[in-house]
A and B are shown apart, each in its own frame.
Chain A
Amino acid sequence: MADTQTKRAFKWEPVIDHGILILGALMMILPIVIALTTASQPDVQIIKEGLSFQIGDQLDDNISSALFTQGGFSGEITGMLMLQNSMILGIGFAVGKIIIGMMAAYAIVYFRLRFATFAFWIIFTTLLLPLEVRIMPSYEVVQGMGLTNTYTGLILPLIASATATFFFRQFFLSVPEELVEAARIDGAGPVKFFIDILVPLSRTMIAAMFIIMFVFGWNQYLWPTLITTEEHMYTLVRGIRQIIQDQDGATIPQFGRGIMLAMLAILPPVLIVVFFQSWFVKGLTESDK
């Protein structure tokens, strides 16, 4: 209705809108596409001609060398092993965080406990300081406990923050009061109410939290770099550091293998985020508010 006079004229606005969006999408996707096409070329050619926009014939060779060739200083690390370590870190972190967070949030929201307010503050202060600012002493503590190069030492210190607890607290508070009243009238105890009513009700929230936490855990870099010094404990993301050092020293850097390992490092979290997009977006925008 605003454009009655120019109704028949060609409209530029949608073209510009789409142009900007396509430009943005290309900016996001091109680096990965070029990295992949480059990784399909022989390493010698990459050094000669730079990153490549064409698909070569080395794709499967580089994939299999990324997955199965033993690399590193000790020669005991393969892509598969790093993938396994990353999975353990991602899943272990997400599951641990959700279980501990749900338990604590349930205790804080559903029980008349004077101690609850104090616990609430103790727990939520942890939201204030990310691991990075207390990295040195955290390392000292974990090392003192003899937990370097263990999955426990890798995962537990990362769990020591209240993001999931906060998220579930918010959600539990939004659950109607009548539910717990009804459950009590029916004679359900706290354990039964939690397992039979609250957990099934939180399914979507649990899924959303799992995606966010899995990606967060999988993508950890600084902490694994400090805590895992033995190569058989490397995760894919931590392994990036090794790849760069290997490439730096080599006369013919193994570009193909390196890029493939990097692609392997982004594949699982990207797939999860893309396929479970709506849950993930819901969880993200609701948890941080």
Chain B
Amino acid sequence: MKRAGFRTISLPMLLLLPQLVIIGIFFYWPAGWAIQSSFYLQDPFGFGSTYVGAENYTRLAGSSEYRKVAWFTLIYTALVTFLSLGIALLLAVKADKVIRGAKTYRTLLMWVYAVAPPVAGFLGLMFFDQNVGPITEFLAGLGWDFKLGVNSFDTATAMVMVAVWKQIPVNFIFFLSGLQSIPRSVREAAMIDNKSGTQRFWDITFPLLAPTAFFLLIINITYALFDTFGVVDTLIKGEPGNNPITLVYMVFRDGFRGGDLGGSSAQSVVLMVLVLILTIFQFRLLERRIHYT
């Protein structure tokens, strides 16, 4: 708040009103509803609902399928996060270093940011296709009989690859801007002290990039958990069947296809808690963020 702020009362209230009304109706109401209905069991024929206490949660904890999906989500998230962060970091370091064509590289490496996840998934569907896909053909040459939508492992591989492809640009943009904000004087001092480029990277550049990397870690986990819905849905052609799915997909499937509102809400609440923990973790990291300049 500014010290010299205005003292009117009605105007700021009026200015805040639209935002508050919209989040009241479309955020707090649904969020509250999710928590409430996670304690109820919906009648499948629409004849009201009964209070069942924590039954939806215990059912979830006992469900072997839920555990399986949770495991898959965990591995999927870890793979997508580390692969896209790693590749993006490598590309950003190189793009920061080269003199010629730096701008062209930057453009070529970041435009995929604007591609929607389901469109990336659609492209993946074509490239990994059983009959027409060039990647399938290439893998067949290596002796890998790739079967998208049939073999769970193959489907999961395609999901990871497409999700990583789509996420590299965001990480690249942040890493590059992080690298470019390292002061010249620091770089020059490091050049004098240390001849080896690799060692210079690990001793100087990487620690200076750590705050960006931590921040990106959270962004990428959130991306893999939620935003890859489009990638998953397109690659499995909207048919969960025996295909690997993520936790968010399961919320969607059970809620809309299965009509299990209580169970789906309980899953939503579990995800909410998960995101809350992540966010709190992120804020604590940001607080402790070290500024070197």
Contact = CB atoms under 8 A, between A and B. Distances in A.
B133 interface: yes
B2 interface: yes
A28 B177 CA distance: 20
A190 interface: yes
B119 A240 contact: yes
Given A51-B134, A270-B114, A134 B23 contact: no
A195 interface: no
A113 B69 CA distance: 47
A29 to B, nearest CB: 6
B134 A133 contact: no
Contact of A116 (B1, B97, B170): B1
Interface string A153-179: 000110111100100000000000100
B111 A273 contact: yes
Contacts of B220: none
Contacts of A29: 108
B237 interface: yes
Interface in B53-95: 87, 90-91, 94-95
B31 A221 contact: no
B8 A111 contact: yes
B230 to A, nearest CB: 4
B91 A113 contact: no
B47 interface: no
B127 A31 contact: yes
Nearest to B176: A281
A29 B94 CA distance: 18
Contact of B23 (A20, A50, A160): A160
Interface residues of B, number: 97
Instruction: Tell me the interface secondary structure of chain B in the complex.
Output: helix
B132 A135 contact: no
B133 A244 contact: no
Contact of B115 (A2, A46, A137, A266): A266
Interface stretch (A56-64, A73-81, A101-109, A200-208): A101-109
B95 A50 contact: no
A245 to B, nearest CB: 7
B176 to A, nearest CB: 8
B187 to A, nearest CB: 14
B189 interface: no
B5 A112 contact: yes
B113 A273 contact: yes
B3 interface: yes
Interface in A215-236: 215, 218-222, 225-226
Instruction: Tell me the interface secondary structure of chain A in the complex.
Output: helix
Contacts of A197: none
B63 to A, nearest CB: 18
B114 A190 contact: no
B168 interface: yes
A186 interface: no
A253 B261 CA distance: 36
B268 A136 contact: yes
A137 B111 CA distance: 34
B4 A274 contact: no
Most chain-A Cβ atoms within 10 A of its Cβ — which of B16, B18, B97, B108?
B16
B12 A113 contact: yes
Nearest to A132: B226
Most chain-A Cβ atoms within 10 A of its Cβ — which of B1, B133, B271?
B1
A108 B16 CA distance: 8
A17 B94 contact: yes
Contacts of B119: 237, 240, 262, 265-266
B156 interface: no
Contact of A128 (B5, B125, B197, B275): B275
A110 B12 CA distance: 9
Contacts of A248: 237
B109 A137 contact: no
Contacts of A2: 191, 195
A100 interface: yes
A47 B131 contact: yes
B230 A221 contact: yes
A152 B37 CA distance: 26
A7 interface: no
Most chain-B Cβ atoms within 10 A of its Cβ — which of A193, A240, A259, A270?
A240
Given A122-B20, A262-B122, A284 B173 contact: yes
23 contacts: A18-B98, A18-B101, A21-B95, A21-B98, A21-B101, A25-B109, A31-B127, A101-B19, A103-B18, A107-B12, A111-B1, A111-B9, A116-B1, A221-B230, A237-B118, A245-B238, A259-B126, A265-B119, A266-B115, A270-B115, A272-B114, A273-B111, A281-B177
Interface of A: 2, 13-14, 17-18, 20-21, 24-25, 27-29, 31-32, 34-35, 38, 46-47, 49-51, 100-101, 103-104, 106-113, 115-116, 119, 122-123, 126-130, 132-142, 156-157, 159-162, 165, 177, 180-181, 184, 189-191, 193, 215, 218-222, 225-226, 237, 240-241, 243-245, 248, 255, 258-259, 262, 265-266, 269-270, 272-274, 277, 281, 284-285, 288-289
Given A18-B98, A273-B110, A288-B174, 19 more contacts: A21-B94, A21-B98, A24-B105, A24-B168, A28-B109, A103-B18, A104-B15, A111-B6, A112-B6, A116-B12, A123-B20, A126-B23, A129-B31, A136-B252, A156-B26, A160-B22, A161-B23, A270-B111, A284-B170
